[in-house]
Chain A
Amino acid sequence: MAKTVLIVDDSSSLRALVKLSLSRAGYAVIEASDGKDGLAQLDKAAKVNLIVSDVNMPNMDGITFVTHVKQHARHKFIPVIMLTTEDESAKIAQAKAAGARAWLTKPFNPPQLLDAVGKLVLA
Protein backbone atom coordinates (compact mmCIF):
# COMPACT_ATOMS: atom_id res chain seq x y z
CA MET A 1 0.00 0.00 0.00
CA ALA A 2 1.34 3.42 -0.99
CA LYS A 3 2.59 5.70 1.79
CA THR A 4 0.66 8.96 2.06
CA VAL A 5 2.36 12.36 2.19
CA LEU A 6 0.57 15.59 3.12
CA ILE A 7 1.93 18.67 1.30
CA VAL A 8 1.18 21.99 3.03
CA ASP A 9 2.08 25.04 0.92
CA ASP A 10 0.17 28.17 -0.14
CA SER A 11 1.68 27.99 -3.62
CA SER A 12 -0.38 25.67 -5.83
CA SER A 13 2.47 25.43 -8.34
CA LEU A 14 4.91 24.36 -5.64
CA ARG A 15 2.40 21.78 -4.39
CA ALA A 16 2.08 20.50 -7.96
CA LEU A 17 5.87 20.19 -8.26
CA VAL A 18 6.19 18.31 -4.97
CA LYS A 19 3.25 16.09 -5.95
CA LEU A 20 4.84 15.36 -9.33
CA SER A 21 8.10 14.36 -7.64
CA LEU A 22 6.45 12.18 -5.00
CA SER A 23 3.76 10.54 -7.10
CA ARG A 24 6.38 9.44 -9.67
CA ALA A 25 8.08 7.62 -6.80
CA GLY A 26 4.84 5.86 -5.80
CA TYR A 27 3.65 8.04 -2.92
CA ALA A 28 0.00 9.03 -2.50
CA VAL A 29 -0.31 12.78 -1.97
CA ILE A 30 -2.80 14.97 -0.08
CA GLU A 31 -2.61 18.77 -0.45
CA ALA A 32 -3.32 21.65 1.91
CA SER A 33 -2.99 25.38 1.19
CA ASP A 34 -1.90 26.52 4.68
CA GLY A 35 -1.45 25.33 8.26
CA LYS A 36 -5.15 25.46 9.11
CA ASP A 37 -6.05 23.52 6.01
CA GLY A 38 -3.23 21.10 6.86
CA LEU A 39 -4.77 20.34 10.28
CA ALA A 40 -8.17 19.84 8.65
CA GLN A 41 -6.70 17.47 6.04
CA LEU A 42 -4.94 15.50 8.80
CA ASP A 43 -8.25 15.04 10.63
CA LYS A 44 -9.97 13.91 7.44
CA ALA A 45 -7.26 11.52 6.21
CA ALA A 46 -7.30 7.89 7.25
CA LYS A 47 -3.52 7.68 7.50
CA VAL A 48 -0.72 10.17 6.80
CA ASN A 49 2.84 8.83 6.90
CA LEU A 50 4.71 12.11 6.45
CA ILE A 51 4.16 15.87 6.17
CA VAL A 52 6.06 18.26 3.89
CA SER A 53 5.29 21.82 5.01
CA ASP A 54 6.20 25.35 3.93
CA VAL A 55 7.07 27.92 6.64
CA ASN A 56 5.65 31.23 5.39
CA MET A 57 1.93 30.77 4.74
CA PRO A 58 -1.23 32.81 5.33
CA ASN A 59 -3.73 31.92 8.10
CA MET A 60 -1.34 29.59 9.90
CA ASP A 61 2.42 29.46 9.29
CA GLY A 62 4.45 26.27 9.12
CA ILE A 63 6.07 26.51 12.56
CA THR A 64 2.67 26.99 14.25
CA PHE A 65 1.28 24.13 12.17
CA VAL A 66 4.06 21.77 13.31
CA THR A 67 3.51 22.85 16.92
CA HIS A 68 -0.19 21.93 16.64
CA VAL A 69 0.60 18.62 14.96
CA LYS A 70 3.05 17.66 17.70
CA GLN A 71 0.47 18.47 20.38
CA HIS A 72 -2.16 16.26 18.74
CA ALA A 73 -2.50 12.76 20.21
CA ARG A 74 -3.13 11.04 16.88
CA HIS A 75 -0.77 13.05 14.65
CA LYS A 76 2.19 13.76 16.89
CA PHE A 77 4.25 10.82 15.58
CA ILE A 78 4.02 11.90 11.93
CA PRO A 79 7.47 13.12 10.82
CA VAL A 80 7.53 16.64 9.33
CA ILE A 81 9.92 18.03 6.71
CA MET A 82 10.03 21.83 6.40
CA LEU A 83 10.37 22.84 2.72
CA THR A 84 10.89 26.58 2.49
CA THR A 85 12.77 29.47 0.93
CA GLU A 86 13.74 30.54 4.46
CA ASP A 87 17.38 30.04 5.29
CA GLU A 88 17.72 31.84 8.60
CA SER A 89 19.20 29.78 11.39
CA ALA A 90 16.71 31.27 13.90
CA LYS A 91 13.76 29.87 11.87
CA ILE A 92 15.51 26.52 11.52
CA ALA A 93 15.99 26.41 15.30
CA GLN A 94 12.28 27.25 15.80
CA ALA A 95 11.24 24.43 13.48
CA LYS A 96 13.51 21.98 15.26
CA ALA A 97 12.13 23.06 18.64
CA ALA A 98 8.56 22.68 17.33
CA GLY A 99 9.30 19.06 16.39
CA ALA A 100 10.18 19.12 12.67
CA ARG A 101 12.56 16.35 11.60
CA ALA A 102 14.26 17.94 8.59
CA TRP A 103 14.76 21.28 6.84
CA LEU A 104 14.95 21.53 3.05
CA THR A 105 15.53 24.82 1.29
CA LYS A 106 13.71 25.65 -1.95
CA PRO A 107 14.38 25.15 -4.75
CA PHE A 108 14.36 21.45 -3.90
CA ASN A 109 15.97 18.76 -5.98
CA PRO A 110 13.57 15.78 -6.51
CA PRO A 111 16.13 13.05 -5.63
CA GLN A 112 17.09 15.02 -2.53
CA LEU A 113 13.44 15.38 -1.48
CA LEU A 114 12.79 11.69 -2.16
CA ASP A 115 15.85 10.74 -0.15
CA ALA A 116 14.66 12.79 2.85
CA VAL A 117 11.07 11.50 2.51
CA GLY A 118 12.26 7.90 2.19
CA LYS A 119 14.48 8.15 5.26
CA LEU A 120 11.76 9.62 7.46
CA VAL A 121 8.92 7.41 6.21
CA LEU A 122 10.97 4.30 6.96
CA ALA A 123 12.28 5.64 10.28
Chain B
Amino acid sequence: MTIHLRWLDATLPTLAVASAALPLLHRVGVLELMAVGGVAAASIWSAVRSAHGAATSAAALAADRAQQAINADEPVPASCGGQLPPLLRGILPVWREHVESVRSQTDTAVGDLVVNFSAITEQFEAAGFKGTSHPTANGQDTTISLLTLCERELQPVIAAMTRITDSKGALAASVHELSVITGELQTMASEVAGIAAQTNLLAINAAIEAARVGEAGRGFAVIAKEIRSLSHASAKTANYITGRMAQIMTIMRSTSEAATQAAASDKIAIELSGTVVDDVLSHVRELSVEAQTMLGQGNVIRSNIEALIVSLQFQDRVSQVIGVVDKDMARLRDTIDSDAALPSADQWLADLQSHYTMKEQRRSHGTSAGGSAAAPSAEPAAALFF
Protein backbone atom coordinates (compact mmCIF):
# COMPACT_ATOMS: atom_id res chain seq x y z
CA MET B 1 0.00 0.00 0.00
CA THR B 2 2.98 2.29 0.33
CA ILE B 3 2.95 2.47 -3.42
CA HIS B 4 -0.54 4.01 -3.19
CA LEU B 5 0.81 6.85 -1.13
CA ARG B 6 3.83 7.32 -3.33
CA TRP B 7 1.56 7.40 -6.34
CA LEU B 8 -0.70 9.98 -4.70
CA ASP B 9 2.30 12.00 -3.54
CA ALA B 10 3.37 12.28 -7.18
CA THR B 11 -0.09 12.78 -8.72
CA LEU B 12 -1.89 15.13 -6.34
CA PRO B 13 0.39 18.12 -7.08
CA THR B 14 -0.75 17.84 -10.69
CA LEU B 15 -4.37 17.99 -9.56
CA ALA B 16 -3.53 20.97 -7.34
CA VAL B 17 -1.87 22.79 -10.24
CA ALA B 18 -4.94 22.10 -12.39
CA SER B 19 -7.20 23.50 -9.67
CA ALA B 20 -4.93 26.49 -9.25
CA ALA B 21 -5.41 27.27 -12.93
CA LEU B 22 -9.03 28.21 -12.23
CA PRO B 23 -8.27 31.49 -10.44
CA LEU B 24 -7.04 32.70 -13.83
CA LEU B 25 -10.71 33.48 -14.21
CA HIS B 26 -10.17 36.29 -11.73
CA ARG B 27 -7.21 37.69 -13.58
CA VAL B 28 -8.30 38.02 -17.16
CA GLY B 29 -10.33 40.67 -18.82
CA VAL B 30 -11.83 42.59 -15.89
CA LEU B 31 -10.23 45.87 -16.91
CA GLU B 32 -11.18 45.34 -20.53
CA LEU B 33 -14.75 44.58 -19.49
CA MET B 34 -14.96 47.71 -17.38
CA ALA B 35 -13.55 49.77 -20.24
CA VAL B 36 -15.74 48.30 -22.94
CA GLY B 37 -18.85 46.85 -21.46
CA GLY B 38 -19.34 49.10 -18.45
CA VAL B 39 -21.25 48.20 -15.33
CA ALA B 40 -23.46 45.56 -16.94
CA ALA B 41 -20.56 43.43 -18.16
CA ALA B 42 -18.65 43.92 -14.91
CA SER B 43 -21.61 42.71 -12.89
CA ILE B 44 -21.97 39.66 -15.14
CA TRP B 45 -18.28 39.06 -14.63
CA SER B 46 -18.69 39.38 -10.88
CA ALA B 47 -21.45 36.76 -11.01
CA VAL B 48 -19.20 34.43 -12.99
CA ARG B 49 -16.38 34.93 -10.50
CA SER B 50 -18.50 34.21 -7.43
CA ALA B 51 -20.23 31.23 -9.12
CA HIS B 52 -16.89 29.56 -9.62
CA GLY B 53 -15.31 30.49 -6.34
CA ALA B 54 -17.03 27.76 -4.34
CA ALA B 55 -16.51 24.99 -6.86
CA THR B 56 -12.90 25.96 -7.48
CA SER B 57 -12.02 26.08 -3.82
CA ALA B 58 -13.72 22.71 -3.24
CA ALA B 59 -11.52 20.94 -5.79
CA ALA B 60 -8.38 22.75 -4.64
CA LEU B 61 -9.16 22.09 -0.96
CA ALA B 62 -9.70 18.40 -1.59
CA ALA B 63 -6.36 18.10 -3.34
CA ASP B 64 -4.58 20.15 -0.64
CA ARG B 65 -6.08 18.09 2.20
CA ALA B 66 -5.08 14.83 0.56
CA GLN B 67 -1.56 16.16 0.00
CA GLN B 68 -1.28 17.34 3.62
CA ALA B 69 -2.54 13.98 4.88
CA ILE B 70 0.09 12.17 2.87
CA ASN B 71 2.86 14.54 3.96
CA ALA B 72 1.81 14.24 7.63
CA ASP B 73 1.56 10.47 7.57
CA GLU B 74 5.11 9.74 6.43
CA PRO B 75 6.20 7.10 7.12
CA VAL B 76 2.98 5.24 6.34
CA PRO B 77 1.35 3.39 9.22
CA ALA B 78 0.59 -0.19 8.27
CA SER B 79 -3.08 0.19 9.15
CA CYS B 80 -3.47 3.14 6.78
CA GLY B 81 -2.60 1.13 3.64
CA GLY B 82 -5.70 -1.05 3.83
CA GLN B 83 -8.00 1.95 4.34
CA LEU B 84 -6.79 3.87 1.33
CA PRO B 85 -8.63 2.07 -1.50
CA PRO B 86 -12.06 2.38 0.18
CA LEU B 87 -11.24 5.99 1.02
CA LEU B 88 -10.34 6.76 -2.57
CA ARG B 89 -13.44 4.93 -3.84
CA GLY B 90 -15.50 7.25 -1.69
CA ILE B 91 -13.60 10.46 -2.38
CA LEU B 92 -12.79 10.21 -6.07
CA PRO B 93 -16.42 10.39 -7.36
CA VAL B 94 -16.96 13.47 -5.20
CA TRP B 95 -13.80 15.08 -6.51
CA ARG B 96 -14.88 14.30 -10.04
CA GLU B 97 -18.31 15.82 -9.41
CA HIS B 98 -16.65 19.00 -8.13
CA VAL B 99 -14.31 19.13 -11.09
CA GLU B 100 -17.15 18.58 -13.56
CA SER B 101 -19.19 21.20 -11.73
CA VAL B 102 -16.34 23.70 -12.13
CA ARG B 103 -16.00 22.88 -15.79
CA SER B 104 -19.69 23.06 -16.67
CA GLN B 105 -20.32 26.20 -14.58
CA THR B 106 -17.35 27.97 -16.12
CA ASP B 107 -18.38 26.98 -19.62
CA THR B 108 -22.00 28.07 -19.12
CA ALA B 109 -21.12 31.29 -17.34
CA VAL B 110 -18.48 32.34 -19.87
CA GLY B 111 -20.93 31.46 -22.67
CA ASP B 112 -23.57 33.67 -21.03
CA LEU B 113 -20.98 36.37 -20.54
CA VAL B 114 -20.06 36.31 -24.22
CA VAL B 115 -23.74 36.45 -25.27
CA ASN B 116 -24.34 39.47 -23.02
CA PHE B 117 -21.10 40.99 -24.15
CA SER B 118 -22.20 40.55 -27.78
CA ALA B 119 -25.35 42.54 -27.02
CA ILE B 120 -23.30 45.33 -25.44
CA THR B 121 -20.96 45.33 -28.41
CA GLU B 122 -23.89 45.62 -30.81
CA GLN B 123 -25.21 48.59 -28.83
CA PHE B 124 -21.82 50.30 -29.05
CA GLU B 125 -21.69 49.69 -32.76
CA ALA B 126 -25.26 50.93 -33.22
CA ALA B 127 -24.22 54.12 -31.40
CA GLY B 128 -21.53 54.66 -34.04
CA PHE B 129 -18.50 53.35 -32.18
CA LYS B 130 -17.87 50.65 -34.71
CA GLY B 131 -14.32 51.43 -35.68
CA THR B 132 -12.82 49.87 -38.74
CA SER B 133 -9.73 48.09 -39.82
CA HIS B 134 -10.67 48.64 -43.44
CA PRO B 135 -10.48 52.34 -44.40
CA THR B 136 -12.10 53.57 -47.60
CA ALA B 137 -10.13 53.40 -50.83
CA ASN B 138 -8.73 56.91 -50.34
CA GLY B 139 -8.12 56.25 -46.66
CA GLN B 140 -10.78 58.73 -45.54
CA ASP B 141 -13.89 58.51 -43.48
CA THR B 142 -17.27 58.83 -45.25
CA THR B 143 -17.98 62.12 -43.48
CA ILE B 144 -14.71 63.59 -44.74
CA SER B 145 -15.64 62.49 -48.25
CA LEU B 146 -19.00 64.21 -47.77
CA LEU B 147 -17.22 67.40 -46.66
CA THR B 148 -14.99 67.31 -49.71
CA LEU B 149 -18.02 66.69 -51.93
CA CYS B 150 -19.94 69.60 -50.35
CA GLU B 151 -17.03 71.98 -50.80
CA ARG B 152 -16.46 70.84 -54.37
CA GLU B 153 -20.13 71.01 -55.40
CA LEU B 154 -21.51 73.96 -53.42
CA GLN B 155 -18.76 76.55 -53.83
CA PRO B 156 -19.02 76.63 -57.67
CA VAL B 157 -22.82 77.08 -57.37
CA ILE B 158 -22.31 80.18 -55.23
CA ALA B 159 -19.65 81.45 -57.65
CA ALA B 160 -22.03 80.94 -60.63
CA MET B 161 -24.85 82.78 -58.82
CA THR B 162 -22.49 85.65 -58.04
CA ARG B 163 -21.54 85.87 -61.71
CA ILE B 164 -25.25 86.03 -62.69
CA THR B 165 -25.81 88.89 -60.20
CA ASP B 166 -22.82 90.73 -61.61
CA SER B 167 -24.29 90.32 -65.12
CA LYS B 168 -27.62 91.72 -63.95
CA GLY B 169 -25.80 94.70 -62.44
CA ALA B 170 -24.05 95.33 -65.77
CA LEU B 171 -27.43 95.10 -67.56
CA ALA B 172 -28.94 97.68 -65.18
CA ALA B 173 -25.96 99.98 -65.82
CA SER B 174 -26.40 99.61 -69.63
CA VAL B 175 -30.12 100.37 -69.37
CA HIS B 176 -29.31 103.46 -67.29
CA GLU B 177 -26.75 104.60 -69.88
CA LEU B 178 -29.33 104.04 -72.67
CA SER B 179 -31.88 106.17 -70.83
CA VAL B 180 -29.35 109.02 -70.62
CA ILE B 181 -28.76 108.83 -74.38
CA THR B 182 -32.53 108.67 -74.99
CA GLY B 183 -32.93 111.81 -72.90
CA GLU B 184 -30.40 113.55 -75.14
CA LEU B 185 -32.33 112.39 -78.22
CA GLN B 186 -35.55 113.78 -76.70
CA THR B 187 -33.81 117.13 -76.24
CA MET B 188 -32.63 117.02 -79.86
CA ALA B 189 -36.20 116.28 -81.02
CA SER B 190 -37.42 119.31 -79.04
CA GLU B 191 -34.75 121.42 -80.72
CA VAL B 192 -35.90 120.15 -84.15
CA ALA B 193 -39.48 121.20 -83.23
CA GLY B 194 -38.16 124.67 -82.28
CA ILE B 195 -36.30 124.93 -85.59
CA ALA B 196 -39.50 123.94 -87.44
CA ALA B 197 -41.44 126.68 -85.60
CA GLN B 198 -38.84 129.28 -86.51
CA THR B 199 -38.78 128.04 -90.12
CA ASN B 200 -42.60 128.39 -90.24
CA LEU B 201 -42.33 131.94 -88.91
CA LEU B 202 -39.67 132.68 -91.49
CA ALA B 203 -41.89 131.26 -94.29
CA ILE B 204 -44.81 133.47 -93.12
CA ASN B 205 -42.60 136.53 -93.26
CA ALA B 206 -41.36 135.48 -96.73
CA ALA B 207 -44.99 135.10 -97.94
CA ILE B 208 -45.86 138.58 -96.58
CA GLU B 209 -42.86 140.11 -98.33
CA ALA B 210 -43.69 138.22 -101.57
CA ALA B 211 -47.26 139.57 -101.49
CA ARG B 212 -45.96 143.11 -101.04
CA VAL B 213 -43.77 142.84 -104.16
CA GLY B 214 -46.85 141.71 -106.15
CA GLU B 215 -46.60 139.75 -109.37
CA ALA B 216 -42.81 139.56 -109.20
CA GLY B 217 -42.97 137.89 -105.80
CA ARG B 218 -45.46 135.24 -106.73
CA GLY B 219 -42.75 132.60 -107.15
CA PHE B 220 -41.38 133.38 -103.69
CA ALA B 221 -44.89 133.10 -102.28
CA VAL B 222 -45.13 129.54 -103.64
CA ILE B 223 -41.73 128.67 -102.15
CA ALA B 224 -42.71 130.20 -98.81
CA LYS B 225 -45.87 128.13 -98.82
CA GLU B 226 -43.87 124.91 -99.42
CA ILE B 227 -41.40 125.82 -96.73
CA ARG B 228 -44.30 126.31 -94.28
CA SER B 229 -45.66 122.92 -95.28
CA LEU B 230 -42.22 121.36 -94.61
CA SER B 231 -41.87 123.16 -91.29
CA HIS B 232 -45.30 121.88 -90.23
CA ALA B 233 -44.28 118.35 -91.21
CA SER B 234 -40.96 118.73 -89.36
CA ALA B 235 -42.72 120.06 -86.27
CA LYS B 236 -45.24 117.23 -86.38
CA THR B 237 -42.45 114.59 -86.74
CA ALA B 238 -40.42 116.27 -83.98
CA ASN B 239 -43.44 116.24 -81.66
CA TYR B 240 -44.09 112.60 -82.52
CA ILE B 241 -40.45 111.72 -81.80
CA THR B 242 -40.58 113.66 -78.52
CA GLY B 243 -43.74 111.80 -77.47
CA ARG B 244 -42.28 108.38 -78.31
CA MET B 245 -39.02 109.31 -76.59
CA ALA B 246 -40.96 110.19 -73.46
CA GLN B 247 -42.63 106.78 -73.56
CA ILE B 248 -39.26 105.05 -74.08
CA MET B 249 -37.79 107.07 -71.23
CA THR B 250 -40.59 105.96 -68.91
CA ILE B 251 -40.18 102.31 -69.87
CA MET B 252 -36.38 102.44 -69.58
CA ARG B 253 -36.56 104.16 -66.23
CA SER B 254 -38.82 101.45 -64.83
CA THR B 255 -36.65 98.73 -66.47
CA SER B 256 -33.54 100.25 -64.95
CA GLU B 257 -35.18 100.48 -61.53
CA ALA B 258 -36.41 96.86 -61.79
CA ALA B 259 -32.97 95.62 -62.88
CA THR B 260 -31.31 97.54 -60.05
CA GLN B 261 -33.78 96.14 -57.52
CA ALA B 262 -33.38 92.59 -58.92
CA ALA B 263 -29.59 92.85 -58.75
CA ALA B 264 -29.81 94.11 -55.16
CA SER B 265 -32.22 91.30 -54.19
CA ASP B 266 -30.06 88.69 -55.92
CA LYS B 267 -27.01 90.00 -54.13
CA ILE B 268 -28.75 89.69 -50.75
CA ALA B 269 -30.02 86.20 -51.64
CA ILE B 270 -26.58 85.06 -52.75
CA GLU B 271 -24.93 86.50 -49.65
CA LEU B 272 -27.53 84.63 -47.58
CA SER B 273 -26.96 81.44 -49.58
CA GLY B 274 -23.23 81.81 -49.13
CA THR B 275 -23.71 82.17 -45.37
CA VAL B 276 -25.96 79.10 -45.29
CA VAL B 277 -23.47 77.09 -47.35
CA ASP B 278 -20.64 78.17 -45.03
CA ASP B 279 -22.74 77.14 -42.02
CA VAL B 280 -23.53 73.76 -43.60
CA LEU B 281 -19.86 73.19 -44.40
CA SER B 282 -18.94 74.23 -40.88
CA HIS B 283 -21.43 71.71 -39.44
CA VAL B 284 -20.16 69.01 -41.77
CA ARG B 285 -16.60 69.82 -40.64
CA GLU B 286 -17.70 69.48 -37.00
CA LEU B 287 -19.43 66.21 -37.85
CA SER B 288 -16.31 65.07 -39.58
CA VAL B 289 -14.21 65.80 -36.49
CA GLU B 290 -16.76 64.01 -34.29
CA ALA B 291 -16.88 61.08 -36.71
CA GLN B 292 -13.10 60.87 -36.64
CA THR B 293 -13.16 60.89 -32.84
CA MET B 294 -15.85 58.19 -32.78
CA LEU B 295 -13.88 56.18 -35.31
CA GLY B 296 -10.82 56.39 -33.09
CA GLN B 297 -12.82 55.42 -30.00
CA GLY B 298 -14.48 52.63 -32.00
CA ASN B 299 -11.07 51.29 -32.94
CA VAL B 300 -10.00 51.32 -29.28
CA ILE B 301 -13.19 49.43 -28.36
CA ARG B 302 -12.65 47.03 -31.23
CA SER B 303 -9.11 46.38 -30.06
CA ASN B 304 -10.34 45.84 -26.48
CA ILE B 305 -13.01 43.41 -27.71
CA GLU B 306 -10.40 41.43 -29.61
CA ALA B 307 -8.16 41.31 -26.53
CA LEU B 308 -11.13 40.24 -24.43
CA ILE B 309 -12.02 37.45 -26.86
CA VAL B 310 -8.46 36.14 -26.53
CA SER B 311 -8.57 36.44 -22.72
CA LEU B 312 -11.94 34.70 -22.37
CA GLN B 313 -10.57 31.61 -24.06
CA PHE B 314 -8.91 30.81 -20.74
CA GLN B 315 -12.05 28.77 -20.01
CA ASP B 316 -11.42 26.40 -22.88
CA ARG B 317 -7.82 25.88 -21.82
CA VAL B 318 -8.79 25.41 -18.17
CA SER B 319 -11.45 22.94 -19.29
CA GLN B 320 -8.81 20.95 -21.17
CA VAL B 321 -6.61 20.82 -18.05
CA ILE B 322 -9.50 19.78 -15.81
CA GLY B 323 -10.72 17.24 -18.37
CA VAL B 324 -7.38 15.40 -18.33
CA VAL B 325 -7.27 15.44 -14.50
CA ASP B 326 -10.86 14.19 -14.40
CA LYS B 327 -10.06 11.30 -16.71
CA ASP B 328 -7.02 10.50 -14.60
CA MET B 329 -9.14 10.35 -11.44
CA ALA B 330 -11.51 8.00 -13.28
CA ARG B 331 -8.52 5.89 -14.26
CA LEU B 332 -7.40 5.76 -10.63
CA ARG B 333 -10.89 4.69 -9.53
CA ASP B 334 -11.01 1.98 -12.21
CA THR B 335 -7.55 0.76 -11.26
CA ILE B 336 -8.50 0.51 -7.56
CA ASP B 337 -11.77 -1.22 -8.42
CA SER B 338 -9.93 -3.79 -10.54
CA ASP B 339 -7.75 -4.79 -7.56
CA ALA B 340 -4.85 -5.07 -9.99
CA ALA B 341 -1.36 -4.10 -8.95
CA LEU B 342 -0.83 -0.37 -9.21
CA PRO B 343 1.82 0.85 -11.61
CA SER B 344 4.73 2.90 -10.32
CA ALA B 345 4.28 6.64 -9.94
CA ASP B 346 6.61 7.22 -12.89
CA GLN B 347 4.56 4.86 -15.08
CA TRP B 348 1.32 6.52 -14.01
CA LEU B 349 2.66 10.02 -14.64
CA ALA B 350 4.03 9.00 -18.04
CA ASP B 351 0.54 7.81 -19.00
CA LEU B 352 -0.99 11.01 -17.63
CA GLN B 353 1.50 13.07 -19.59
CA SER B 354 0.59 11.31 -22.83
CA HIS B 355 -2.87 12.90 -22.62
CA TYR B 356 -1.60 16.47 -22.44
CA THR B 357 -2.40 18.71 -25.39
CA MET B 358 -1.04 22.07 -24.28
CA LYS B 359 2.30 23.53 -23.31
CA GLU B 360 1.04 24.73 -19.92
CA GLN B 361 -0.01 21.16 -19.02
CA ARG B 362 3.49 19.98 -19.71
CA ARG B 363 4.91 22.92 -17.75
CA SER B 364 2.55 22.19 -14.82
CA HIS B 365 3.65 18.58 -14.89
CA GLY B 366 7.24 19.78 -14.69
CA THR B 367 6.37 22.15 -11.81
CA SER B 368 4.89 19.34 -9.72
CA ALA B 369 8.19 17.52 -10.21
CA GLY B 370 10.09 20.53 -8.87
CA GLY B 371 10.10 22.93 -11.87
CA SER B 372 9.03 26.58 -12.06
CA ALA B 373 5.41 27.84 -11.82
CA ALA B 374 3.14 27.19 -14.80
CA ALA B 375 1.98 30.19 -16.81
CA PRO B 376 -0.94 29.94 -19.22
CA SER B 377 -0.20 30.60 -22.87
CA ALA B 378 -2.32 33.57 -23.91
CA GLU B 379 -0.43 34.52 -27.06
CA PRO B 380 -2.26 33.42 -30.24
CA ALA B 381 -0.02 31.46 -32.58
CA ALA B 382 0.09 32.09 -36.32
CA ALA B 383 -2.31 30.16 -38.55
CA LEU B 384 -0.84 27.23 -40.41
CA PHE B 385 -2.22 26.67 -43.91
CA PHE B 386 -1.94 23.35 -45.73
Contact = CB atoms under 8 A, between A and B. Distances in A.
Interface of A: 9, 11-17, 19-21, 23-24, 55-56, 81, 84-88, 92, 96, 100-113, 115-116, 119
B384 interface: yes
Contacts of A16: 110-111, 114-115, 118
Interface in B342-375: 357-359
Contact of A103 (B113, B316, B323, B383): B383
Nearest to B106: A13
Given A88-B357, A103-B386, A20 B121 contact: yes
Interface of B: 106-111, 113-115, 117-118, 121, 125, 133, 305-306, 309-317, 319-320, 323, 357-359, 377-386
Given A56-B357, A86-B357, 18 more contacts: A12-B111, A13-B110, A15-B111, A16-B115, A55-B357, A87-B357, A96-B386, A100-B386, A102-B384, A102-B386, A104-B381, A104-B383, A105-B380, A106-B317, A107-B311, A107-B313, A110-B305, A119-B385
Nearest to B312: A17
Contacts of A115: 383
Given A13-B312, A87-B357, A116-B385, A109 B380 contact: yes
Contacts of A103: 383-384, 386
Contacts of A19: 118
A87 to B, nearest CB: 7
A11 B114 contact: no
A11 B358 contact: no
A113 B381 CA distance: 11
Contacts of A101: 385-386
B383 A112 contact: yes
A17 B313 contact: yes
A106 B383 contact: no
A103 B381 CA distance: 10
A101 B384 CA distance: 9
A21 B384 contact: no
Nearest to A16: B114
A109 B315 contact: no
9 contacts: A11-B319, A12-B111, A13-B113, A14-B316, A106-B313, A106-B317, A107-B377, A107-B379, A119-B385
Indicate the member of A13, A109, A115 with the most B CB atoms within 10 Å. Answer: A13
A105 B315 contact: no
A21 B114 CA distance: 11
B317 A107 contact: yes
Contacts of B314: 107
